[in-house]
Structure 1
């Protein structure tokens, strides 16, 4: 029998040694532990499945009950005679067959318990997500840990209620493999008199981050997670826990005329100790040498722990010589990282100005290609026009420098979203990841590729890796939530959505993620409320209506669903060139009109938007594969 449960492991510490010193006291403590366990587990609606030696395994229907029970047990065991107990809790699968009890959830709960300290209660991130809004439960994050026989690092929290032991992370050394050579580069502070130079300090940070990424054996947290701490005055040790790193690089940039002063310092995250610091006063023309110098020093400082010699691998060439071109490039990077259509167009203007001054600027050509791929895939301009520019600019970038990862990623985007050349896309994505292993946009496209190829579990694995490398990236976390939906793991998708909504309660993509997950779990009334909020946040009467129409159709509100279809069609009249066939196909399918569904899907194929091979794998289209026309669509999509 398989079930999802909150799994509690408890283990008495020092029992064997006490048996040798005082057998009577050891037996007394063990008897008392058993009495407290049996009374408390029953009180909090749990069940003890197994005793083993001086430990036990219990399950609960609720993580909240499991934690309350654990707190009660630890507080009782402080009374005479005190019993030292380690406790670990995880929510996951448990399988019971005859006398055997096993499952991934059991394994992970056991590893968490072994990490805990006497008198402490450690819980996984899954448990934390369920208890975080409980006023009667206090927690403290301990960070990520690499546990034996567990593939991905696990984020651990300690229960910190009164009377519960809470260790510092440093006290847990030796119990697990610690993250080594993991570095975060925090945004360098703009110390210039002109606040407009903010883009310059951000750009220097990103360029330095890219230089460090190319050092073999060094794992560098991606930009989006590092920049989440921009302007926030937080303790370096807390930042390191959230980013799962053991070292942090921070600094400042002061630009005045043609001179620049860069201050950089490398900090050991465990104790806040400065490993190294340096000031650089240079002419702007020497800026690239400074970046190389800083990255080289850091590599040498980490040399003793690196698995390979710290030599930059596949290093992209710095082809820019003109500082005006470099300045335009940094401005473009500033706008590009905002990832909105309007800012993307501003970024393109800046990249074009950089290229006009310095035609051999490979990185500017590559990011211009990526910006057009974004506009084309989002329906912000004609796909035919956008992806022709993508290929032109990406080819130019790679002709100038084949080691620019963004050029390969842009090419992959064109192959995936427009030409549907799946094998070519995969090859470009692999090249990009070899050159820039932590590049989140490349991971997203790779997950997209695996969905198209029907490898849904692989898509989840890819995005879980991306989130591990870039834990605070809203884009990566939202994409992981979508991959969970493709795999029909709706509870996991809802947890991802809730994480995003903590960051921004009005994040449309997160609300939409939660809405689809909620609906496909069977609660379409609640899903409709969420979709209506998505529509409201678009601030446009004709946009954001797919979910509203689909939910109404599922609820039998045919007139309201048809009203959504009418508004979508009206939008194509008011905004010529806008393609909404993918949305129309979804609502018609929910209404049960399969002929119109296939008509609009074929329109998507003719117009080269929204690859059918991708969106038809979404669970909301379940049942469509029974129709012979589905296989004709796959043939047209090159599958």
Structure 2
């Protein structure tokens, strides 16, 4: 019988050697351990499935009960005769039959227990999600670990409640395969007198980051996660744990007139030791040479685990410093991601190419911005994606190694032109050129959704989160892909994770509401959708979820009121296209004629994007309608 359980492994340390030294004491400790285990596990509603050697395997229906039990066991075993025990806990879907237990969750719980030290309780990220809001349970993140027979690195936490032992990362490094050549580039600090030069120091960081991602064998944490520490004074070792890296590059930039001073330090995360540091004083005209020099020095410092020596091959097509400065300013606004800032970034990038018509990277970024505006409905898709191809083609004609050019074109192929092979080829090319080009991964995930390969879509986005673990956008995209894969509990957990980073990020509230609704609780989902609508601070916006959930609950008048307000918005803002929102509510109301009318409007305008949102599991019933088959879009 399959069931979701919390799995607790406990293992006594040093039993074999103690048996050789003092057999009577060893047996006494083993009997004491068994008595404590049986009492605590019974009291916390658990069940011991088996003893093995000097260890045991138990299951619980509640992760919270399992953690409380682990804490109580370790407290009891502090008393004489003290027993050194390590405990690991994970939740998973397993098969329990004939007194045995089977499933990947069992292996993972065992691996987590093997990481623990005497007196500690280690838990997986899934367990942490269950206990993090418990006032009487506290924890400390130990970071990511690569475990034997486990494909992806696993995020592990240590329970700190009750004075339990919390080892340092260094104490457990010998127990697992260590990540090699994983680097985070922290935002370089602006030391210039003029705060307007903030964009310049950010740009230097970004250029170094982009250059280092092109080194074979070097995994570089993506920009968004590294920038989560901008302006903060966190300990380097704590940053490394959160980003799952073993080396950190930090530095500062001081710009005065035509002179620039760049200071950089490469730090070993385990002990905070400076592997290398250097200060560069240069004329601003030499900034490109300085970037290449720093990047190559760092690569050489990491070279011991790379297969062969190589230069970065970082190619800058820009020759004009003023153009470069305009480009850096464009990146500054691009990374703010609001529609207004995106339009400001276009002006900066256009200035860059006006000053230097051969500036390939600036053309690629113009294409990227138009792709974002077109896909989000902030600009007519017909106009936006024509501009995407125009500027991406200019970039690639100058330099065909720029990943962003291919990513922008992939967005046009995927969202607007529905050219699936071209989408896949462009994304594969981009990732080959720059594995750290994080914006390629959500597009690749949605491509696999359209092709009906939901598990591969999930795998792609889980890899992306490892590259950019603190990015709200990438984490949200993973949650959305979980919805497509009908893994609603995982989607809800992912939404909660992102809401911790940014509680006001409405798309993550919507994600949580869809996950809860698709599990069957549309009443709870409606309350969240109503909060989303409130947060828009506009009476006519953010109503699709409210209308959908109301319709599912039989609240027809409320759903119709949402439709009326959306129609009013369309009259007041004729440039806005919300046909996809009409699709959702009319579908929930059961009016298939209206549903297909608006689907065809989406197809005609290439908005929403319709080919992606129709793959949502709530629309499954549409696929049996001949009108759906006639749409000529990917059927999944």
> Shorter-chain-normalised TM-score: which range?
over 0.9
**Is the Cα contact below 8 Å between 2:183 and 2:220 reproduced in 1?**
yes
Cα distance change on mapping 1:185 and 1:636 into 2, 3 Å: closer
Aligned counterpart, 2:65: 65
Question: Counterparts of 1:190 and 1:102 in 2: how far apart (Å)?
Answer: 54
Distance of aligned partners of 1:64 and 1:238 in 2 relative to their CA distance in 1, 3 Å threshold:
same
The question of whether the paired residues in 2 share the 8 Å contact of 1:316 and 1:403 is answered with no
Distance of 2:278 and 2:590 partners within structure 1: 67
| 3-state SS of paired residue (1:294) | helix
Q: Structure 2 matches for 1:23-422, cutoff 5 A?
A: 23-312=23-312, 315=313, 317-422=315-420
Partner Cα separation in structure 2 for residue 442 and residue 636 of structure 1: 21
Of the structure 1 ranges 457-466 and 563-572, higher mean CA displacement relative to structure 2 is found in 563-572
> For each residue in 1:467-489, what CA deviation from the matched residue of structure 2 results, as whole angstroms up to 9, or x when unmatched?
00100000000000001111111
Q: CA deviation at 1:630?
A: 2.0
- Give the structure-1-normalised TM-score: 0.98
TM value normalised by structure 2 = 0.98
Write the distance in 1 (CA, Å) between the matches of 2:71 and 2:289. 56
- Tell me, in whole angstroms, the C-alpha distance in 1 between the residues paired with 2:412 and 2:474: 20
SS of aligned partner of 2:157:
strand
SS state at 2:602 partner: helix
Hey, what does 2:496 align to over in structure 1?
498
Deviation sequence 1:435-461 (CA, Å, 0-9, x none): 110222100100010111111111111
Aligned position for 1:2:
2
Asked if 1 retains the 8 angstrom alpha-carbon contact of 2:472 and 2:502, the reply is no
Partner of 1:454: 452
2:450 and 2:635 in contact (8 A); partners too: no
Describe the superposition over 1:602-625 as per-residue Cα deviations: whole angstroms up to 9, x where unpaired: 111111123433212101213222
Contact 1:93-1:106 within 8 A present in 2 as well: no
1:142-184 CA-partner distances (Å, limit 9, x unpaired): 1110000011111111112234221111011221011111110
Given candidates 505, 512, 515, the residue that maps to 1:514 is 512
Q: 1:636 to 1:25 in 2, by over 3 A?
A: closer
For 1:540, the equivalent position in structure 2 comes to 538
Q: In 2, Cα distance between the equivalents of 1:208 and 1:568?
A: 46
Structure 1 match to 2:465: 467
Report the secondary structure of 1:280's partner residue.
strand
Displacement of 1:567 after TM fit?
1.4
User: Can you give the 5+ residue segments of structure 1 that lack an aligned partner in the other structure?
Assistant: none
- Distance in 2, matches of 1:540 and 1:386, equals 26
CA–CA distance in structure 1, aligned partners of residues 204 and 106 of structure 2 = 46
Alpha-carbon offset, residue 636 of structure 1? 4.6
Alpha carbons 1:212, 1:295 under 8 Å: kept = yes
Alignment coverage as a number of residue pairs: 636
Root-mean-square deviation (Å): 1.2
Residue 371 (structure 1) shift: 0.3
Residue 309 of structure 1, CA deviation:
2.3
Task: Report deviation, 1:338.
Answer: 0.8
Say which SS state the counterpart of residue 174 (structure 2) adopts. coil
Deviation of the 1:503 alpha carbon:
1.6
Tell me which residue corresponds to 2:550: 552
Write out per-residue CA displacement over residues 309-331 of structure 1, whole angstroms, 9 at most, x where no aligned residue. 2432xx45311111111111001
Query: For 1:174, what is the secondary structure of its paired residue?
Result: helix
| 3-state SS of paired residue (2:547) | helix
